[in-house]
Amino acid sequence: MTENALRVTGRVWVFGDGLTTDAMYPADAMKMDLAQAATMVFYEARPGWTGQVARGDIVVAGRNFGLGSSRPVAALFVALGVAALVAEEFNSLFYRNAVNAGLPAMTVPDASRAFSDGDTGTFDLATGEWSNDTTGMSGSVPVQPDLILDIIASGGVLPRLARQGYLPPELAEALRSPSVRAAGQGSGA
């Protein structure tokens, strides 16, 4: 397990409660290739956002984040360079899709009130500590199980299986690509 993969610092984008996977990944985008589909993330909720987000940025949301279908949104976030997802509450299927894609995800109570757009946040999944480096607010949450941390640190469930010898090791790097991550989430990307 790589500790650095479990500690993320970046610019924060704050979204509210009840963002569904349909709002994150519109139906029309499901007909596009992954790179093009990624430009449609939050198209309805925050038009133009994908033109502003930069590699290493962090998405912070409220409750019920990722509610709805099992669209492979985590792979789109990876394609955009989003470094982590933080929410007050994740839909369990969405959360597990993020983990399986190797995208760090952390539940932080009151996250959408602890951060504002543009703040710098640090989230350490290995310790459960988080901080708003702009305001100085900080806290801690329970550490996730070792298996979850290992999957994230490995770059996702498929690269972890390759590392463990269950898949050919020469595939390990290819299995980290956003398109394979999307296919591994079982939807039409």
pLDDT in tens, 14-24: 999 999 988 88
Does position 1 have pLDDT exceeding 50, yes or no? no
What span, in angstroms and rounded, lies between the C-alpha atoms of 185 and 168?
20
pTM given for the model: 0.88
- Catalogue all structural domains in the chain, each as residue range(s) with its CATH number: 3-184 (3.20.19.10)
User: What residues form DSSP beta bridges with 8?
Assistant: 123
What span, in angstroms and rounded, lies between the C-alpha atoms of 29 and 90?
23
Specify the higher pLDDT residue, 174 or 128. Answer: 128
Instruction: Please give the helix or strand (H or E) that residue 160 lies within, else none.
Output: helix 157-163
- Mean pLDDT over 79-104 rounds to 94
Of the spans 44-48, 103-107, 170-174, which averages the highest pLDDT?
103-107
Of the spans 38-47, 65-74, 84-93, which averages the highest pLDDT?
84-93
Q: What percent of the chain has pLDDT over 70?
A: 89
Q: Read off the tokens for 155.
A: 């770059």
Specify the higher pLDDT residue, 92 or 183. Answer: 92
Q: Read off the tokens for 24.
A: 């994150």
Q: How many residues would you count in the chain?
A: 189
Tell me 187's DSSP state.
S
